[in-house]
Structure 1
Amino acid sequence: MDVVDFLKQLPQALVPEEAADTQCVLQFNTSKPTYATIKDGACSVTEGSASDPDVTITMEDKDLIELLQGKLNGMTAFMTGQLQVEGDLMMAQQLQTIFDQSKLA
């Protein structure tokens, strides 16, 4: 599965209760830039680059997939340079609570 197909699963994996008060744009810079917009307890995914993202995450495709599946520790990835984050670091840390990792295959 390529990274865009994987990221298109995010709307179904969103935990509405956790994302209820969240409004943000998450830019994923991978081999195929893609961004997710979270607003009003819903998520949409769009290929390309957002004009003004709240958080920009830059990673290799397989590392991003493993991170969102819970197979790669975000702090370890950040400290070893596998993960670069720009913008709202607190929002980046919430990714593992607002998305149900078990729904991301």
Structure 2
Amino acid sequence: MTDFNAESLSSIGPKEFAQLVKTTPDSQIAEVMNGDARTKILDEVFNRMPSLFRAEKAGDTSAVIHWIISGGPNGSDTYETVIENGGCTVTNQPVREPKLAMTMDPVTFLKVVSGDGNPMMMFMTGKIKAKGDLGLAANVAKLFDIPRA
């Protein structure tokens, strides 16, 4: 298994990434995500979202989701996912009013996107804070082909 870093992440697929998150201690993920590689890793994860989007599950869903990843060297990073017209686009320059805004630390975020955590449980225990359409929050994971490690 490769080390958890930006370089290895760009060269592995979703299943390998899920395995990497699952087998890397939280403390090591937190350390990497507090360093220079944070933006590269977040960009890599978000850039993959459109290819993992499941349009057939979205139906006529139209939503703007803001992902606020806390705990960075410069505060929080916010990414915007727009789901509309059967497609999904992502930017790290949010401009639209979100239907849903979710705030979480980087370890929690990586666990959610790698399928290594139960998003509903994380919400119930306060690891994920959600504002806006909570019904959308409950279903957002179903809109993406989340790998299972």
For normalisation by structure 1, the TM-score amounts to 0.89
Q: Residue 62 of structure 1 aligns to a residue in which SS? A: helix
Structure 2 matches for 1:39-50, cutoff 5 A? 39-50=84-95
Q: How many residues align?
A: 104
Q: Which residue of 1 aligns with 2:83?
A: 38
Greater Rg over alpha carbons, structure:
2
Using the TM superposition, give the Cα deviation of residue 83 of structure 1 relative to its aligned residue in structure 2, in angstroms. 0.3
Most deviating of 44-53 and 92-101: 44-53
Structure 1: stretches of 5+ with no match in the other structure = none
Q: Does 1:89 align with 2:134?
A: yes
Percent identity of equivalent pairs:
28
**Partner Cα distance (1:76, 1:16) in 2:** 25
**Partner Cα distance (1:76, 1:97) in 2:** 15
Q: Which residue of 2 aligns with 1:14?
A: 53
Q: Which portions of structure 1, spanning 4 or more consecutive aligned residues, are displaced by more than 2 angstroms? A: 48-51
Q: Does 1:98 align with 2:143?
A: yes
Using the TM superposition, give the Cα deviation of residue 3 of structure 1 relative to its aligned residue in structure 2, in angstroms. 1.8
Q: Does 1:72 align with 2:117?
A: yes
**Partner Cα distance (1:53, 1:10) in 2:** 17
For normalisation by structure 2, the TM-score amounts to 0.64
Which structure has the highest helix share of the two? 2
Structure 2 counterpart of 1:28, one-letter code: W
Change (3 A) 1:21 1:52: same
Structure 2 counterpart of 1:72, one-letter code: G
RMSD over aligned Cα, in angstroms? 1.8
Using the TM superposition, give the Cα deviation of residue 5 of structure 1 relative to its aligned residue in structure 2, in angstroms. 1.9
Q: Which residue of 2 aligns with 1:53?
A: 98
Structure 1 counterpart of 2:59, one-letter code: A
Q: Deviations 1:51-95 (Å, cap 9, x if unpaired)?
A: 310000001122112112221111221122110000000111111
**Partner Cα distance (1:82, 1:4) in 2:** 22
Check conservation: 2:64, 2:96, Cα contact below 8 A.
no
**Partner Cα distance (1:69, 1:95) in 2:** 14
